[in-house]
Amino acid sequence: MSKKSYTKPALLYTEQISKLKSRGLIINNTPKALHLLQHLSYYRLSGYWYTLLDHPKKNHRFKIDATFDQAFDLYCFDRELRQLILNQIEKIEVSVRATIAYECSHSWGAFWLSDKNNFKNDSEHKNTILKISKEIDRSKELFLQEYDKKYLEKLPPSWITLEVCSIGSLSWVYRIIKPGKTKREISRKYGLNEKVFETWLHSLVYIRNICAHHSRLWNKKLAIKPEIPKNFKGNWIVNTEITDSRNHSKNSIKNKTYFTICIVQYLLNIINPKNNFKENLDELFDKYPNIDLKAMGYTSNWREETLWSQKKR
């Protein structure tokens, strides 16, 4: 398809309201809608009222009884979901950081990060160390300043270095660690094999970035598809497909938000068996009862899955 110039003009807030009304969106409180358009933007909210459009969506006509408040409820739900997931990913990140530092340091010594022999590829190791060094240089942590005053080694011991690494760097470090006992021991702590754990970390980095940058998550088609584990420790899900109501085809849920939520719950159950993630999700779903969970990839029998039905020990 040939490209063309973008010619749509910027609209005034009042013009945006008129445009929405002309397309059939019910706006019961115009001052509130104007305020939200002013502080959230038309474009950001459009991702939420897109689901309220009638078919074919290219005609930009809203379904009968579609309201601005429904779109805003979706926005609020998505925001709270992102905040909840981001908080849980932080807990997983801290655990993974500690596990990688512990296992690798006991296998290869305090300065294993600096030794290219512990990694699969010299070039990738060099680039990773360069990135980590930049993260250290940007950090204002007092413990790094004190280390630099006392010791000769440029890169501190891994348990110090990894403390200032982003989850992206942490995921990359695990990815390029050479295959073998040490890498297996890290993933075994979470009841997974190396490949599955590697893809899960990559997925969590992707989701974390979506949440941190306030992007839409709830019904997003995710670009990263983590692996489905064949062997695992603890409770997991059996059904990893969802049926398309339009043509009855079966589709994998690996690129759906629900699958990520399952990953988070699984890992939290290992890190903290008494976690409240499931209860917090239930409260969120109760608060927004009109949310279409199928759009998130939730399967028809998800509540029967042991991951969600098993009581805490």
pLDDT for 247:
75
Longest dimension (CA), the chain: 70
pLDDT at position 153: 87
**For residues 294-298, average pLDDT:** 94
Nearest to 280 by CA among 261, 297, 293: 261
Contact (Cβ atoms closer than 8 angstroms) between residue 310 and residue 275: no
Give the CA-trace dihedral at 271, 276, 279, 284, to 10 degrees: -100
Query: Out of 84-88, 193-197, 230-234, which region has the weakest mean confidence (pLDDT)?
Result: 230-234
Once rounded to an integer, what is the mean pLDDT over residues 88-110? Answer: 97
- The answer, yes or no, to whether residue 154 has pLDDT greater than 90, is no
Helix then strand count (H, E) for the chain reads 13, 2
Strand, coil or helix: 87: helix
pLDDT of residue 89: 97
Q: Please tell me which residue, 311 or 262, carries the higher pLDDT value.
A: 262
Residue 22 has pLDDT above 90, yes or no: yes
- Give the pLDDT band (50/70/90) at residue 284: very high
pLDDT > 90? residue 35: yes
Q: Are 258 and 298 in contact (CB under 8 A)?
A: yes
pLDDT at 140 over 90: no
> What was the pLDDT predicted at 302?
96
Tell me what the mean pLDDT of segment 156-167 comes to: 93
At 79, which amino acid appears? Answer: R
Tokens of 3: 């490209």
pLDDT at 293 over 90: yes
In single-letter form, the type of residue at position 237 comes to I
How far apart CA 45 and CA 52 sit, in angstroms, is 12
pLDDT band at 266; cut points 50, 70, 90: very high
Report, as an integer, the average pLDDT of 111-123: 95
Radius of gyration of the chain (CA): 23
Task: Specify the pLDDT at position 106.
Answer: 97
pLDDT at 239: 95
- Could you tell me the pLDDT band of residue 312, with boundaries at 50, 70 and 90? low
> Is the pLDDT higher at 70 or at 310?
70
- Between CA 271 and CA 89 the distance in angstroms is 11
Return the pLDDT at 313.
58
Rounded distance, CA 194 to CA 188, Å? 8
- Binned at pLDDT 50, 70 and 90, residue 112 comes out as very high
33-42, 143-152, 177-186, 254-263: lowest mean pLDDT where?
A: 143-152
Alpha-carbon 292 to chain mean position: 19
Q: 177 - beta bridge partners? A: 119
